[in-house]
Structure 1
Amino acid sequence: MARLLVIHHTPSPDTHAMLHSVCDGATAAADELGGDLEVVLRPALAAVVPDVLDADGYLLGTPANFGYMSGALKHFFDTVYYPCLDATRGRPWGLWVHGNNEVDGAALAVQRIVTGLGWSAVRPPVLVVGSPTVDASERLWELGAVTTAAVLESCS
């Protein structure tokens, strides 16, 4: 069974809604593709090295706090980076970021770390400023679906 790990910091109603859109896309794609996929949700402060090593792909979600990723997601990376560095290279991943104004700095910070890990982006991050619109929710759903397809393909 393939495993998609969703690492998130979703303290607000908007980020929580975004999490649900991404997960809905992931599970719908697995059903449509007939893939055997487990979607594992982990808050960023609870995710540990075995979670990352046991996963075949990753979805990351964070608010933009003062132009940077959340402290919770940064803590996650600080915890897993070196233990997972060589073992997870090439695995597919996706990112969504929510902010009330600027989100680019947070996305760039995550992308720099993940580049070091050697993960393979399935598409550009979904960046949402303000409350998610219908269009943003659709892009989040697609992010979940495309990441699922990449995970299932990498496991076949």
Structure 2
Amino acid sequence: MLRTDPGESVENSKKLLIVAHAPSPNTLKLREAAEKGARHADIENVEVTVLAPLDAGPEDVLACDAIILGTTENLGYMSGALKDFFDRSYYPCLERTQGLPFAYYIRAGHDGTGTHRAIESIATGLRWKRIQEPLICRGEYREEFSEQCQELGLYVAASLDAGLL
């Protein structure tokens, strides 16, 4: 079985990028859960990179084979940090990442509708390919949100590992 440590690159492995805003202990749990799922022991050929939106940029997107986005819902919109990531990455990636498989989760105190709509709009402009229905974690924080994010990370990484993406 071929596994990589965080920072160690393996030739011919697929690259999964997780860009997720985690301003609170609960949102950090969600990002860590997505990473845990993506690093599942049965995933053999996927290198996982996890970055905060302010630390990620177009070079990271250009180097990946799939991306998972995570954000809070702030005033009915994605976090300013994720919006900043998109602002800096949009044009450098526009013609070079068409068809990039992506998935995302939203930690929404209310309904997540505005955040969902905004991410879909930007991803449509980039011509990225959503590979799973958005995960919207609504209302008061529940531990099942972490389980759902872990499943999301596992699904995307396993799909990459199996050559489905």
After TM superposition, is the score higher than 0.5? yes
Does residue 1:15 correspond to 2:24, yes or no?
no
| Greater RCO (Cα-Cα under 8 Å, separation 6 or more) | 1
Alignment of 1:27-66 (within 5 A): 27-28=39-40, 31-33=41-43, 35-66=44-75
What 5-or-longer segments of structure 1 have no aligned partner?
Answer: none
Name the residue aligned to 1:105.
Answer: 114
Residue of structure 1 equivalent to 2:89: 80
Which consecutive unaligned segments of at least 5 residues does structure 2 have? Answer: 1-12
Instruction: Give the root-mean-square deviation of aligned CA atoms.
Output: 1.7
SS in 1 for 2:105: strand
Task: Report sequence identity in percent.
Answer: 36
Measured in 1, the distance between the counterparts of 2:95 and 2:162 equals 21
- State which structure, 1 or 2, has the greater radius of gyration over its C-alpha atoms: 2
Q: Residue 68 of structure 1 aligns with which residue?
A: 77
- Counterpart amino acid of residue 135 in structure 1: E
Q: What TM-score does the superposition give when structure 1 sets the normalisation length?
A: 0.89
**TM-score, with normalisation over the residues of structure 2?**
0.85
Aligned length: 153
Secondary structure of 1:45 counterpart = helix
Structure 1 segments (4+ residues) deviating >3 Å? 153-156
Give the match's secondary structure for 2:50: strand
1:126 to 111, 135, 140: 135
Q: Which residue of 1 aligns with 2:37?
A: 25
Whether the aligned pair in 2 keeps the contact of 1:93 and 1:119 (CA below 8 Å) is yes
Structure 1 distance, partners of 2:87, 2:49, is 20
What's the offset of the Cα at 1:131? 4.4
CA distance in 2, matches of 1:148, 1:15: 20
